[in-house]
Structure 1
Amino acid sequence: MTYYLASVPVDFTKEPTGAELSDLNDALAPYDPRGSRGSLSWRRDDAGNVTFNLVVETADDREAKSKARETLTAALFANGRRNVTATVRAEDDIEIIPWK
């Protein structure tokens, strides 16, 4: 098994609040590549696209994309986000690189 850093883009139809991002932080903390529980590992580009970073352990990069997508989708659902307001993009849009 190999660890992979996954950069997973998410489309929000409504801007997430600070409380919602805090809830996502708690749900994704075990997957934070920095091992930090204090701040969410995400970024927003100039176009407003939000991408979350998490680490997954899988046999290969193809499986890593699938697991990263499933993990982030589960975190969004666990925190009240439904496909109406947040959608994890397709596996083709997820970037994967080996981690440590």
Structure 2
Amino acid sequence: MIDEKTVLDKLSEIYEPCAPIINIVEMGLIYDVKIDNNNVSILMTFSTPHCPAGLKMVKMVKDKLKEIEGIGEIEVELTFDPPWSPDRLSEENRKKLGFI
């Protein structure tokens, strides 16, 4: 049975293309994970609505989740409400990216 920790651990292997020192989970781009009978739905955002790597990131998420044994359907939904902000980062990661 697939659980949220397994999904988030796998997504933590993907680095934000515009800030490749922080993975997309730590970056705060994953808003929600839902699992139903090994089918996974991800609600995510980008650091900016005009992210040039946006479509690539969605593909990266789907491809990475396909590596989980027994995974069913994968759905990725994008939202910009609320918009991403540096507040979603830990203090350590805000320092890494130069926000503080």
**Same-fold call, TM cutoff 0.5:** no
More strand by share: 1
Which one scores higher on RCO, CA 8 angstroms, separation ≥ 6?
A: 1
Structure label with greater radius of gyration: 2
More helix by share: 1
